[in-house]
Amino acid sequence: YLKISKLALAFAIIHSKPPGKSSKEYTEYLAKTVSEQDFGWKWKVEVLEAEVLRLRQELLLNRISPRFCLENRKQDTSAETLLGRESINPTSYSSQLEDSGCDVCNDSAFDSLGIASDFHQSEHNVSTSKHWLERVPPLNLCHSSKEQSLTAPVQFLQCLLEIRKLSEGGILQADFSELENDSFTICNSVSQLLDGLTVFYNSPKFPAPSFLTEGVSVLISLITDTKLSNHVLKKCFKKMEEFKKNLIQIILRNRSVNRFQALHSISQTLGLLGRNSILRNSLISLLLSEVRQFAEQLLQAHQVQSVYDITQYENIFLLCMILEQLLQNETQESNISSSDCGGEEKIKFLKNLDQIILHLSDEFPLFSLYLWRVSVLLNSGQMQ
């Protein structure tokens, strides 16, 4: 039947082709026309899907806290009455977002690896309610550019965080059990945010746009919130794992001459993600695996005197720095040994590590030193 259909289509094209055009040219023209129509339909479907998600977001917010949605649509100064003494300077907040901490001339924007001063400021601003109620515009997902599309999930998640803060302060009543009944909306919103961040980290722009910094701040606030993080991680854990893997691979594979400015920003994001205990353990396992595999490859190349990837060698130090910071945080927060960190990957990492360090220490002393420091943190339980 398929052969007969193809033959009939071929005859139809031959018979209907206009004069002056060959059958091949007319076939290519028809194929192009059909593909353009398909693209148009795909665009219409994407717009409709975005509208559906927007409506579901508004409905979910309304179910969680109807009063918030009503107050959020008022254009007068009712926010002052609702929130009383709380206040914030929107101008100072927007100026903070102008710099993501990636600019080479402003290294002070980050305190240390995994601890961003910009995050602390935005975290404070999330807790100040008047700013958000006056600031959050109506949700709109129908944007044409990738940059604008990132703002859509950020707006929704900002509203969710604000309801959480207001309910915690006793200003609003909120029922977060509704998140259990609508996993689609929260999952798609978080997925959009993570996909948008991945796109920008793959092709970074300098100075970093303010909405990128805001997106990272919202993500970190979401996973560190005691009430919301369980809902988000339970439904979006696989997506978060995929996001972490993508960031690690971006660090390892980036070969740009001026890559360190962008990679430093990614390392900060990974460090902040590691503040969550659930994400930290899996992130430590991922980093241990990558560092171990590179160390084994480097040892093999050194033994046979073959060439090794110098760019990846330079990039691996960022992973070592993140790993060391996460292990230190794990030990400090738990006040116990970090010997259980990494699980199976820890065992693989420590196996034959002394021999690897011994053979690489002369040729690669700095990398060997990092391996040793990581091993000390992993074995800290046995040293006490």
* Residue 115 backbone phi and psi in degrees, to 5: -130, 100
Q: CA 122 to CA 124: how far, in whole Å?
A: 5
pLDDT for the residue numbered 35: 77
pLDDT for the residue numbered 284: 94
What angle separates helix 146-168 from helix 23-64, to the nearest 10 degrees? 10
Q: Summarize pLDDT for 305-345 with one digit per residue, the tens.
A: 888 889 999 999 999 999 999 998 877 766 544 445 667 88
Q: CA 78 to CA 134: how far, in whole Å?
A: 9
pLDDT for the residue numbered 101: 40
Q: Summarize pLDDT for 120-160 with one digit per residue, the tens.
A: 444 444 444 334 333 444 444 444 455 666 888 899 999 99
pLDDT for the residue numbered 93: 33
Give residue for tokens 């919103």.
Answer: 189
Using 50 as the pLDDT threshold, list the residues of the chain that sit under it: 75-144, 336-339, 381-384
pLDDT for the residue numbered 78: 38
pLDDT for the residue numbered 325: 92
pLDDT for the residue numbered 355: 92
